[in-house]
C-alpha cells in the first residue's frame, strides 16, 4: 500500500455506502490524473469552455456556462483566465451592449486541439479494461446520476429518477458513441 491509498476497512461504514463519498474520491483522482496526464495549466472546465466556444463562435457568455455545467461566477473566472492567456476574445454584442460574445483566438484553437487530444488519451486510460459496452454503461449511469442529482440540487428531485433502461444496457451491435466527456 502506498501513501496515497486508503484501506477499504478504514472507511467508516457510513461512508462506504455514501455515493457522494465515492464521487468526491473520483473527482479528486480525476483532477490529479488530469494534471499529470493532460495539463497542469488548462483545467477540464477551461477545455469545456474552449470546446463550446469553438463549436459556437460568437456565442453569448451566459449561454456557454449552462452548456458546460458551470455556474455564473465560475464561468466568469474561467473566461477571464482564458482571455488573459490570449486564448479567448470577448466582444460586446452590437445589438445588446450588455452581452459579451466569445470567440477563440488562433492560439486558443491550437491549445484546445492539443489539450483535447491529451484529454481523449486520459479518458481512454481511465476507461481501460471496461470495453466499449462497459464504457457506454458507465457513461450512461454517470449521465443519469448527474441529471437526477442536478434536479435534486435545484429542488426538482421529489420524483423518482428517470432511468433509461436502454441507455444502461447498450446495444452491442451499435457502434460506440465517440463523445468526449469533459468534466
Q: What residues make up the domain containing 156? A: 127-183
Q: At 102, which CATH number?
A: 1.10.10.10
CA nearest neighbour of 119 among 28, 34, 48: 34
Q: What are phi and psi of 145, to 5 degrees?
A: -60, -45
- Name the domain boundary from 117, 147, 171: 117
- Name the domain boundary from 72, 92, 117: 117
- pLDDT at residue 101 tops 60: yes
Q: For residue 19, tell me if it sits in a domain.
A: no
Average pLDDT over residues 43-72: 92
pTM: 0.75
pLDDT digits over 133-181, tens only? 999 999 999 999 999 998 898 886 555 555 665 555 555 555 444 444 4
How many Cα atoms sit within 13 Å of 24 on the Cβ side? Answer: 6
- Name the domain boundary from 67, 88, 117: 117
Residues 6+ apart with CB under 8 A from 64: 49, 52, 53, 56, 75, 102
Q: For residue 37, tell me if it sits in a domain.
A: no
- What pLDDT is attached to residue 42? 95
Are residue 153 and residue 171 in the same domain, yes or no? yes
CA of 139: how far to CAs of 17, 45, 51, 125, 166, in Å? 21, 18, 19, 15, 13
Amino acid at each position: 500500500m502506498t501513501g496515497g491509498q486508503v484501506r477499504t476497512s478504514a472507511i467508516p461504514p457510513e461512508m462506504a455506502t455514501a455515493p457522494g463519498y465515492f464521487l468526491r474520491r473520483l473527482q479528486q483522482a480525476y483532477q490529479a490524473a488530469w494534471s499529470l496526464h493532460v495539463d497542469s495549466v488548462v483545467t477540464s472546465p477551461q477545455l469545456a469552455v474552449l470546446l463550446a466556444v469553438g463549436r459556437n463562435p460568437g456565442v453569448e457568455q451566459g449561454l456557454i456556462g449552462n452548456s458546460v455545467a458551470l455556474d455564473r461566477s465560475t464561468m466568469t473566472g474561467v473566461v477571464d483566465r482564458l482571455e488573459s492567456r490570449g486564448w479567448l476574445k470577448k466582444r460586446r454584442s452590437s445589438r445588446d451592449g450588455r452581452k459579451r460574445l466569445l470567440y477563440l483566438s488562433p492560439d486558443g484553437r491550437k491549445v484546445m486541439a492539443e489539450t483535447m487530444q491529451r484529454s481523449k488519451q486520459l479518458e481512454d486510460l481511465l476507461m481501460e479494461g471496461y470495453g466499449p459496452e462497459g464504457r457506454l454503461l458507465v457513461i450512461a449511469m454517470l449521465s443519469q446520476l448527474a441529471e437526477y442529482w442536478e434536479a435534486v440540487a435545484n429542488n426538482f428531485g421529489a420524483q423518482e429518477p428517470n432511468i433509461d433502461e436502454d441507455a444502461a444496457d447498450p446495444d452491442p451491435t451499435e457502434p460506440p458513441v465517440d463523445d468526449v466527456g469533459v468534466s
